[in-house]
Amino acid sequence: MLHVPTIKPFDTEGVAEFAAGVDRLVTAQNHVLHGGLTTLVTDTLYRASVVRPLRSVGIPDRFIECGSLPYLQTRYGLTAESVAETTRHWLGDAA
């Protein structure tokens, strides 16, 4: 696991190095997928010529309803349990 606490500054070297050592990647972010962590990761991997399957968990690029943080996390699969289950399911597909 690689923890990326900020997107500015973005650790392109660390992300590329980590990605080169794994078979698949999952990004999980508590904001819109487009223009955030997933975009930075894919751009970094492209520039480093690292090709890996990538699954992204985050908020879709559309208007979303308002609600409490727990409600929105549950609605968009952003709870720790949901992210772990998505990751386990996807990694299980590789076996």
Query: How far apart, in whole angstroms, are the C-alpha atoms of residue 92 and residue 95?
Result: 5
Query: How many Å apart are CA 70 and CA 89, to the nearest integer?
Result: 23
Number of domains in the chain: 1
pTM: predicted TM-score of the whole model, two decimal places: 0.82
Residue 93: band (very low, low, confident or very high) from pLDDT cuts 50, 70, 90: low
Residues 88 and 40: their CA atoms lie apart, in Å, by 23
**Does residue 85 lie in a domain region?**
yes
Query: Closest by alpha carbon to 43, among 82, 72, 64, 16?
Result: 16
**Do the domain assignments include residue 1?**
no
Residues present in the chain in total: 95
**pLDDT, tens digit (0-9, with 9 covering 90-100), for 14-45:** 999 999 999 999 999 888 888 889 999 999 99
Domain with 29, as residue range(s), is: 12-91
Assigned token pair, 17: 């190095």
pLDDT of 94 strictly over 60 = no
Residue 78, domain CATH: 3.40.50.920
Which residues neighbour 91 within 8 Å (Cβ) at sequence distance 6 or greater? 24
